[in-house]
């Protein structure tokens, strides 16, 4: 069998192929390099057999390799130093920021006026919601009704005080938007409720009077405008009527009673509607109020947006309004030119049966600014 051969690695000048018997090995770390033994070079380049010379040649090779490694380390160190200098320069540039002028705590100029519009609808006073019928999502009775109604007015003023830090708030719009009582419209209402419709009106009046008194005493308002719309739950007829809906509504009668109760209070301005739609001008903008029962919504994919927009466009052909406010749907939501109120009653067995998403008890408070238009919109929580 032919003897193995190796290429000599003693120097670049010698790359001769030598048999294994004439090979010596140089250990360099984990590597072994072959070289021809003294006197065994086939090219006759390294025939000096001096062991001392051979050792010097090997040492020279090691020194050259060490010099090349040191040069590589130096190059890497110089590159790292250059990168560090660049980072340091960037850091120094970031620190050297020109000090800007301090911001003014208050912007100069006159303060704008802002009008809060509190929507009060769908209280359903007299209704009873048992926790076991709504998976413990809600509990509602007359006592809870009064607690939530009181929380509504107290919490609404908290928001007003916050807005007063940057705007003048001298007047308020308080919309009584209908379905404030639950009434006896269906057999289960008669079976479950603790109060008759007339008793519900009395309890509802008490809650409204307590709320208005709180606004008058603690709100600091020069004027409170109170638009009043009747809802479909307050009717005395089997079905809603059109021409004489106001005359057949418990709620319309309650509004008249409230106005008479406050007949000597000059800061209150009552707007009680005999029709389904009521218009009020606030800061030069015409606002439309309607309970919402005239709008047909069957749970379509587009939600309330499509039927509300269509209804509003039709109404604008007669009297164009800047914004419309609705109740009825128990879903606090807002569009570009309309707002829908939530409810005080919260989730009910009837609503869950129809597949409506349960919504916590809340009422909508919006702010109309004299310079900026519609600004803040706050759900006033009552639970």
What's phi and psi for 81, nearest 5 deg? -65, -40
Does 109 reside within a domain? no
Each residue's pLDDT tens digit, 329-352? 999 999 999 999 999 999 999 999
3-state secondary structure of 104: coil
pLDDT at 327 over 90: yes
Does 91 reside within a domain? no
Q: Tell whether 120 and 261 lie within a shared domain.
A: yes
Q: Choose between 111 and 150: higher pLDDT.
A: 150
Q: Tell whether 81 and 119 lie within a shared domain.
A: no
3-state secondary structure of 11: strand
pLDDT tier for residue 90 given thresholds of 50, 70 and 90: confident
3-state secondary structure of 103: coil
Please report which helix (H) or strand (E) contains residue 31, including its range: strand 31-36
Report the percent of the chain where pLDDT is more than 70.
89
Rounded Cα–Cα distance for residues 208 and 203 (Å):
9
Rounded Cα–Cα distance for residues 138 and 349 (Å):
10
pLDDT tier for residue 102 given thresholds of 50, 70 and 90: confident
Rounded Cα–Cα distance for residues 214 and 235 (Å):
29
Q: Choose between 243 and 378: higher pLDDT.
A: 378
pLDDT of residue 24: 73
pLDDT tier for residue 298 given thresholds of 50, 70 and 90: low
| Runs of H (alpha helix) within the chain | 51-95, 142-163, 187-192, 197-218, 250-261, 305-316, 349-353
Residue 315 gets which letter from DSSP? H
List 203's β-bridge partners, or say none. Answer: none
Does 366 reside within a domain? yes
Does 194 reside within a domain? yes
What CATH number does residue 160 fall under?
Answer: 3.60.21
Q: What is the dihedral of CA 300, 321, 284, 275, to 10 degrees?
A: -100
pTM score: 0.74
User: Residue 134 CB: number of other CB atoms within 10 A?
Assistant: 19
Q: Tell whether 251 and 373 lie within a shared domain.
A: yes
pLDDT of residue 8: 72
Q: Tell whether 181 and 251 lie within a shared domain.
A: yes
Does 105 reside within a domain? no
CA-based R_g, the chain, Å: 44
pLDDT of residue 39: 65
Does 97 reside within a domain? no
Work out how many domains the chain is built from and give that number. 2
Does 236 reside within a domain? yes
pLDDT of residue 34: 75
Rounded Cα–Cα distance for residues 186 and 190 (Å):
7
Q: Tell whether 68 and 138 lie within a shared domain.
A: no
Span of 102-111, 218-227, 312-321 with lowest mean pLDDT: 102-111
pLDDT tier for residue 22 given thresholds of 50, 70 and 90: confident
Q: Tell whether 19 and 133 lie within a shared domain.
A: no
Strands 17-19 and 23-28: unpaired
Mean pLDDT of the chain: 89
Owning domain of residue 316: 114-381
pLDDT of residue 13: 62
Q: Choose between 18 and 76: higher pLDDT.
A: 76
Q: Tell whether 282 and 345 lie within a shared domain.
A: yes
40-47 long-range contacts, CB within 8 A, separation 24+: 41/8, 41/14, 41/16, 42/16, 42/17, 42/18, 43/14, 43/16, 45/13, 45/14, 45/16, 46/10, 46/14
**Range 116-125 average pLDDT:** 98
Rounded Cα–Cα distance for residues 279 and 256 (Å):
18
Q: Tell whether 150 and 80 lie within a shared domain.
A: no
């Amino acid at each position: 069998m032919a003897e193995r051969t190796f290429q000599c690695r003693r120097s670049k000048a010698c790359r001769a192929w030598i048999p294994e018997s004439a090979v010596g090995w140089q250990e360099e770390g984990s590597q072994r390099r072959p070289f021809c033994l003294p006197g065994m070079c086939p090219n006759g380049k390294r025939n000096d057999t001096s062991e001392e010379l051979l050792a010097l040649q090997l040492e020279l090779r090691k020194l050259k390799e060490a010099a090349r490694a040191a040069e590589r380390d130096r190059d890497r160190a110089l590159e790292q130093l250059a990168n560090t200098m660049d980072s340091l320069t960037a850091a120094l540039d970031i620190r050297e920021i020109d000090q800007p002028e301090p911001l003014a705590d208050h912007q100069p100029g006159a303060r704008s006026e802002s009008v809060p519009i509190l929507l009060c609808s769908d209280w359903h006073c007299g209704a009873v919601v048992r926790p076991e019928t709504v998976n413990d999502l809600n509990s509602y009775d007359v006592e809870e009704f009064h607690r939530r109604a009181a929380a509504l007015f107290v919490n609404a003023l908290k928001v007003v005080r916050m807005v007063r830090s940057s705007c003048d708030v001298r007047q308020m719009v308080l919309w009584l938007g209908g379905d404030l009582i639950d009434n006896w419209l269906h057999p289960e209402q008669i079976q479950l409720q603790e109060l008759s419709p007339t008793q519900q009106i009395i309890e509802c009046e008490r809650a409204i009077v307590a709320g208005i008194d709180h606004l008058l005493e603690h709100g600091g308002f020069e004027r409170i405008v109170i638009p009043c719309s009747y809802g479909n739950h307050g009717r005395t007829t089997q079905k809603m009527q059109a021409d004489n809906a106001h005359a057949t509504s418990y709620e319309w009668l309650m509004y008249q009673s409230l106005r008479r109760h406050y007949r000597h209070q000059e800061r209150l301005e009552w707007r009680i509607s005999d029709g389904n739609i009521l218009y009020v001008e606030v800061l030069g903008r015409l606002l439309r109020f309607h309970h919402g029962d005239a709008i047909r919504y069957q749970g379509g994919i587009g939600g309330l947006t499509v039927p509300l927009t269509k209804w509003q466009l039709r109404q604008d052909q007669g009297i164009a309004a800047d914004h419309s406010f609705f109740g009825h749907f128990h879903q606090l939501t807002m569009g570009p030119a309309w707002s829908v109120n939530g409810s005080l009653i919260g989730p009910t067995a009837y609503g869950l049966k129809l597949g409506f998403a349960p919504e916590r008890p809340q009422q909508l408070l919006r702010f109309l600014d004299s310079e900026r238009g519609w600004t803040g919109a706050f759900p006033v929580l009552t639970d």
